[in-house]
Structures are given as C-alpha cells and as structure tokens.
Amino acid sequence: MKLLKMEKVYGGKYLRNYELTYLNKAGREKKFELVSRKELTSPKDIGENVSGVSIVAYKEGKILLLKEFRMSINRAIFNLCAGMMEEGETIEECIGRELYEETGLKVKKILELLPPSYSAVGFSDTQTWIAFVEAEGELEDHTSENEEIKPAFYTRKQVRELLKTEQFSSRSQIMAYFFAKGQVF
C-alpha cells in the first residue's frame, strides 16, 4: 500500500474530509475517504493528532454511563462521558472540564490514563485518551442546548441488564461489559 496524494474536500468547524489516493497491493490506484478532527497539512500528519478523551468514571462502586442522543444515528444510546480537547488545554484539564460539562461532577482522582488510541480507524484518524477516574459531587445538567445527555450511576447488576436490552457505543459497551463482570476498578 502506498499513499500517492491527499486532497482536502471539505472543512467544517469540527470535521474535515480528505480524499486519499493510493496504490493497493495489486498496484491499482484507489480512493479512500478520511474524516479528521484536525487540520491535516500533509500525509505525514495523518493519525498524529490526539483529539480528546473518553472518561470511565466511578463513584461508590458504580459506573457512570450517559444516555445520550447522537444525531449521527438519530437515537439515544449509552455512552461514556467524552469530549474534545480545547486549544492549549492539558489532558487533565480536559477530563475535568468534560466531566463537569456533561454531568456536573468533579474529578476526585484520576485512577489511570491510557495512552491515546484510535477510535474509528475504518474512516477516521481520530485518537483519544481513555481516563479512568473517581468522581465526586452530584449529577447536574450543565450541557449546552445542543446536547441531550442523561447521566446516571449504575451497579454491576444494573449494567448486566442494560447490556441485554440497550444499545451502546463500542467503547462504552466494552467498559460496561468488563465492569459488569467485576474486571475493572
């Protein structure tokens, strides 16, 4: 596989679309559509930028899950608290801000911070951190008018039941599964 050319085809506020021209392993020229959260100035920039964080929060032995409407699928699903890093913000600041904005909670302690990983390699170069945190405070609505988020804490038993009947984002489903099995914090 050899990348021959990259062309920006759309530049929105949060997403940029690129068309990549490459040679496949048979030596034929092919096109690939890429979505990035960051501005890419050359092919060497692809996959090099970390965009945000996904937060796995716990409080009193329960896990935080958000029931959140996502326009991209036109329905509400269970998800983790997550968001994009702002310019000049540290990862720790981003974790605190996103947790507060989406739930009203504060970070009591960062338990573990995994290195950035790719979240949608089939069409995007987006990388995010995964933070495990102990949360404190009370749930409050601090979301913008453009978000519909209902945060709640769930026991292992409740999560086992949700996994049977509800739809999840892939990262939240994996975290919920391991939480329900007692295999995380």
Q: For the chain, which residues score pLDDT lower than 50?
A: none
pLDDT of 158: 98
pLDDT of 27: 96
Which pTM was predicted? Answer: 0.92
pLDDT of 180: 97
Residue 75 has a CB neighbour count (10 Å cut-off) of 10
pLDDT of 143: 86
